[in-house]
Every structure is written in C-alpha cells, then in structure tokens.
Amino acid sequence: MRWLKVLFMCLLVSFVAVGMVSCDGKPSWGWKLATTPEDAHNFINGLGAYTKPHAVGSIAATSQGFYIFYRGDIQGTSDWGWKLANTTDDAHNFLNRKGAYTGQPIAEAELAYKSDGMMYFFYRARSTSASWAWKRSTDIDDMLHFLRGTGTYSSAKEGMIGGLGTNEILMFYRGDLSGETGWGWKLATTTEDAHNFLNGIGGTYDKPVKKAKIFATPAGHFYIFYKR
C-alpha cells in the first residue's frame, strides 16, 4: 500500500504545481522573471507575495530584470541576501570579506550581471575556508575550458558565471574548492528554449540538466554552461 500513497502524493503535488516537481528522481526546472532585486530576493526566500522559498540553480540578468532558474524538485531555503557591486574589486572584497567588509567569507552565491556593468550577488552561508578569485574572458570556449580544467587550464573550478555575451564573461570561483569536469555549453534564444533544454523536453532535448550556470545577452539570449 505504501506505493499507492507515494503515487497519490506525487499526483497531488504535480496537480498543484505543474512542471515544478519531479516524482521520478529527475531534475525539474522552472523560471521566474523578477523585475527588481527586491522582488528576486523575495521570490528566492519565499517572502512578500511568495509563499515558499525556491532552490536557486542560476540567475541571469537583462534590462528587463532577473531571470531566476530554479529547481522545483529541491527544497529551497529562506536565508538568502543580496548585494550590488559596481566593480570587480568591490565584488572580490565582498565575497572574501576584505577591505570594508568584515566577518566570514561568503560560501555560496549566484551572480546576475547587468548590461550597465552592475553585478548583483545573491548569497547565502559563510565559511572560514572560502577564498574567492575571478576570471574574465571574451571567448565562450575559453571559459568552458577554464570551468572544467581542460585545454591550457590544469584544474576545474567551482563558482558562478555572469556576462553580457561572448564579449564579456566573468567567473568568480572558489580557490579553496575543486571543480568538476564534464561541462558543456548551449545557446538558448528564448526562455522557453532554455527551460526545455534544462528539463530535457520539447521534442529536441532528451536529458535534463543537473547543474547550470546561466548568463544572458542584451538581446535576451541565454548562454548555459551545463552538466548532466
């Protein structure tokens, strides 16, 4: 009878949140456009008009706002903050808690990079061992090699990626952590295409994505670094 109860719960949850949960163990992605950082913060934490927190997978920014790609099959948390940095030095100091910042370094963060050069960090958790550095590239394949430690790069990196297109790609990475190999990249021309790709649906894509680092171009396209 236990399997009947599990099946009933899956059907019930799927009914109230279509496309947001997965009962077969596969990743289930959703997306939300937040027009302001405050709205994005509330959506992530389940505050204000939002009734539950969301598990952030990646955040991309355009002139329209913040595209939050989240995992509906993972429980979110309500302990996120946000920070605006207008220089890489300020961002670097903020993440490492140096300069004007005190306390333990940030352990987990997502970067949304707007076309005016403003960097919005959505962050949670602290760690005494966290040590951040950054890398800028103008080539998507170069950043892919840097991420997975191939080509001229000897080690994979763990971190977050933002950008404005292939003319500006920025990665902040944890120097104290080892990254993963096996990453690829995909250009999605619409949010629907990005959503279908992440979930492995739509007739073209057959496997969902487990991890993603996404940034948007001014034209509204999405570059997706992904790992299945």
Q: What is the pLDDT of residue 127?
A: 97
Distance (Å, whole) CA 70 – CA 57? 5
Q: What is the pLDDT of residue 58?
A: 98
Distance (Å, whole) CA 26 – CA 10? 13
User: Which structure tokens are listed for 37?
Assistant: 């950082």
Q: Considering the entire predicted model, what is its pTM?
A: 0.89
Which residue ranges make up each domain of the chain? 2-80+184-227
What averages of pLDDT result for each successive group of 10 residues across the chain (228 residues)?
A: 37 36 75 98 98 98 96 98 97 98 98 93 97 98 98 98 94 98 97 97 91 94 97
Quickly count: other Cβ atoms within 10 Å of residue 89's Cβ. Answer: 12
Q: Which residues share a beta bridge with 134?
A: 172
Q: What is the pLDDT of residue 125?
A: 96
Q: What is the pLDDT of residue 203?
A: 81
Q: What is the pLDDT of residue 23?
A: 53
